[in-house]
Amino acid sequence: MSWGRYPPLPQRARAANWCGGLPALLASAAKEKGSTLAHGEGRSYGDSCLAASGEVIAMRRLDRFLDADWSSGVLRAEAGTTLADILAVAVPRGWFLPVTPGTKFVTLGGAIANDVHGKNHHRRGTFGRHVRRFGLLRSDRGRLVCAPDAEPALFAATIGGLGLTGLIEWAEIQLMPIASSHVDGLAVRFGDLGEFFALSAELDERHEFCVSWVDCAARGKTAGRGVYMAGDFASDGPRAVENRRRPGVPLTPPVSLVNAWSLRAFNAIYWRKASAKRRYVRGGYDPFFYPLDALPNWNRIYGIKGFQQYQALIPDAEARAGVQALLDAIARSGKGSFLAVLKRCGGDASPGLLSFPRPGVTLALDFPHSGHLEDALFPRLDAIVHEAGGRLYPAKDAHMKGEDFRRAYPDWEKLAALRDPLLLSHFWKRVAQ
Ligand SMILES: Cc1cc2nc3c(=O)[nH]c(=O)nc-3n(C[C@H](O)[C@H](O)[C@H](O)COP(=O)(O)OP(=O)(O)OC[C@H]3O[C@@H](n4cnc5c(N)ncnc54)[C@H](O)[C@@H]3O)c2cc1C
């Protein structure tokens, strides 16, 4: 299933062991099922990583490094290689991922297909901006090499192309130099959204990495409070690979452990514990970028019904009013979770046709799944996003209406025209067909 375990559409997987075996896998999946889809680490939350046919090609074993030039930081690897695999070889040599999402357990193919963004979007844009070229296998055209100057239309459509334009076999990316693997991090709490926007306007320019946690349960005078976090790689120190793994959540409880009561209590304690003064602390990169990776299977805490993430981007001009309206509606509903993230996106355009980020502010938060979400809360939130001219992130989505998707991503028809006829996700069937 996907990371949110909702919608409950278990998939059958055929494992790819060698790129050479992919054409036969594609052909047999098509013959038996009509269509299929590449599957990476399954870290997408909704149904964009689930095949409409219920049968995916598991790419994770295609994890070989093919080439690396450690003087320039250019690395080529098979598409199932994870960001964790890359960090393990790159960090000791003084290189880091130029863009990383909040988990390192995603594959190169998945990072390209969703054109993922990270805490430094305002500085370096999306992952796709750092992809030099990749190999693409299509059922109708065979093997192609795509780059900005080779098959440019397929290059653009595949970055953020939701896995629909072909199977990415390998990719070449440009890494970012670091002097140390330590990060000088700052955390300071804010009392409302006005303070968040003031902090962001002042500090985003000064720091490479910026993100905020927001208390989605706070109402009245405390509404919009949160903790602003920023950081930069230290200019000296060790270059050490980190991988904290505690024992994970061993089983899925019958009901969600996140509820209105636990949420309010937890959020209030977390906010009070954060410092009211600006304090810098030096620490490792793993807790700074990947706090959730330390707890394997944390997605199980939402119980057997799973959870949905709602990630919206509100353009700059409407950001203050739009985010406030979203938070008000969420706080009134009593739903939500501890994991609520606010982040400003910058103006660096992605080469990707359907890339999610735009200049503006993105709000992302998790909700234990219940019928109430799709019947009541999400339509209210969708109306606010629509009114503000915003959009939802397909990588996190399990509910978006087709008309909302097509309005927010006007280039969807270009992607539809370049789709590999044998690749189809549950998401695409829902929003585009
Ligand atoms: C804790 C957590 C934090 C996250 N934080 C962020 C964040 O900060 N920013 C962000 O942008 N995202 C974030 N995400 C989402 C995640 O980064 C994306 O969903 C990512 O695409 C998942 O990669 P994956 O390898 O698991 O791919 P999957 O989820 O398995 O698949 C994702 C898409 O990639 C396609 N795909 C996979 N491999 C290939 C291939 N070889 N060829 C063609 N298509 C392929 C699939 O068909 C599918 O459409 C987060 C997820 C989690 C669980």
Token pair listed for 154 = 């397929």
Task: Find the mean pLDDT for residues 256-265.
Answer: 84
- Tell me, yes or no, if the pTM score tops 0.95: yes
Best residue among 81, 100, 103 to mutate for probing ligand 1's pocket (most ligand atoms within 8 Å of CB) is 103
Strands (E), 4-86: 12-15, 38-39, 55-58, 65-69, 74-78
| CA dihedral sign of residues 277, 282, 288, 293 | negative
CATH 3.90.1150.10 fits 182-404, yes or no: no
Q: What is the dihedral of CA 224, 373, 428, 407, to 10 degrees?
A: -60
Query: pLDDT by residue (tens digit) across 173-221?
Result: 999 999 999 999 999 999 999 999 999 999 999 999 999 999 999 988 8
Distance 202 CA to ligand 1 centre (A): 31
Q: For the chain, which residues make up each domain, given as ranges?
A: 65-178, 182-404
Residue nearest (by alpha carbon) to ligand 1 atom 9: 101
φ and ψ of 35, to 5 deg: -160, 170
Query: pLDDT by residue (tens digit) across 305-327?
Result: 999 999 999 999 999 999 999 99
- Collapse the DSSP code of 430 into the 3-class scheme (helix H, G, I; strand E, B; otherwise coil) and give the result: helix
Query: pLDDT by residue (tens digit) across 78-97?
Result: 999 999 999 999 999 999 99
CATH 3.30.465.10 fits 65-178, yes or no: yes
Residue nearest (by alpha carbon) to ligand 1 atom 13: 101
Looking at ligand 1, which atom is closest to the CA of residue 45? 19
- Spatial distance between the Cα atoms of 33 and 8, rounded to a whole number of angstroms: 19
Helices 193-203 & 319-333 angle (0-180, nearest 10): 140
Query: pLDDT by residue (tens digit) across 108-125?
Result: 999 999 999 999 999 999
- Spatial distance between the Cα atoms of 167 and 244, rounded to a whole number of angstroms: 32
- Nearest in space to 289 (alpha carbons), one of 394, 371, 209: 209
Query: pLDDT by residue (tens digit) across 343-381?
Result: 999 999 999 999 999 999 999 999 999 988 989 999 999
